[in-house]
Amino acid sequence: MAQRSDLSKLTSDEKDALIYALLARVEELERRLGLNSSNSGKPPSSDGFKKEPRVKSLREPSGKKSGGQAGHEGKTRRQVENPDEVIDHYPPVCAGCGGALGAEVSTDYQKRQVFNRPEPQPLQVTEQRAHRGGCPHCGEATQAAFPEEVTAAVQYGASITALVVYLQCWQLVPEDRLAELLHDVFRVDLATATIAAMGHKKAEELAGLADHIGQQVKQAPVKHLDETGYRIAGLLQWLPVASTGFLTFYRTAHKRGAMLTGVLGIIVHDCWKPYFAMEGVVHALCNAHHLRELKALIDIEKEPWALAMSRFLRHACHAVNLARRRHIGLKPGFLWWLSARYDRIIVQGLAFHENQPPLGALVGTRERKRRGCARRRTGHNLLLRLQDHKADVLRFLTNPDVPFTNNQAEQDIRMMKVKQKISGCFRTETGAQTFAILRTILSTARKQGWNLLDTLTQPSVILAHNLRTS
What residues contact residue 235 under an 8 Å CB cut-off, 6+ apart? none
> Under DSSP, is residue 401 helix (H, G, I), strand (E, B) or coil?
coil
Alpha-helical segments (H) within 399-456: 407-423, 429-448, 452-455
> b/e map of 138-154 (b: 16 or more CB within 10 Å)?
eeeeeeeeeeeeeeeee
Can you say whether residue 139 is alpha, beta or left, with left for phi > 0 and alpha for psi between -120 and 50 degrees? left
* Separation CA 285–CA 233 (nearest Å): 33
- Confidence at residue 33, expressed as pLDDT on a 0 to 100 scale: 76
Q: Are 249 and 213 in contact (CB under 8 A)?
A: yes
What residues contact residue 136 under an 8 Å CB cut-off, 6+ apart? none
Long-range contacts of range 231-240, CB-CB < 8 Å, 24 or more positions apart?
Answer: 231/420, 231/424, 231/425, 231/426, 232/425, 232/426, 232/428, 232/429, 232/432, 233/426, 233/427, 233/428, 233/429, 234/425, 237/429, 237/432, 239/413, 239/416, 239/432, 239/436
* Separation CA 268–CA 285 (nearest Å): 6
Q: Where are the beta strands (DSSP E) in 166-323?
A: 222-232, 235-243, 248-250, 265-269, 281-285
Domain residue ranges of the chain, discontinuous segments joined by +: 194-281+411-465, 287-405
Bridge partners, residue 112, by sequence: none
- Confidence at residue 57, expressed as pLDDT on a 0 to 100 scale: 60
* Separation CA 114–CA 86 (nearest Å): 10
Q: Are 258 and 238 in contact (CB under 8 A)?
A: yes
Q: Are 417 and 248 in contact (CB under 8 A)?
A: no
* Separation CA 456–CA 332 (nearest Å): 49
Q: What residue ranges of the chain have pLDDT lower than 70? A: 1-6, 41-42, 45-62, 359-373
How many CA atoms are closer than 13 Å to the CA of 156, on its beta-carbon side?
21
Q: Are 178 and 165 in contact (CB under 8 A)?
A: no
> Under DSSP, is residue 104 helix (H, G, I), strand (E, B) or coil?
helix
What residues contact residue 100 under an 8 Å CB cut-off, 6+ apart? 92, 93, 94
Task: Report if pTM > 0.75.
Answer: yes
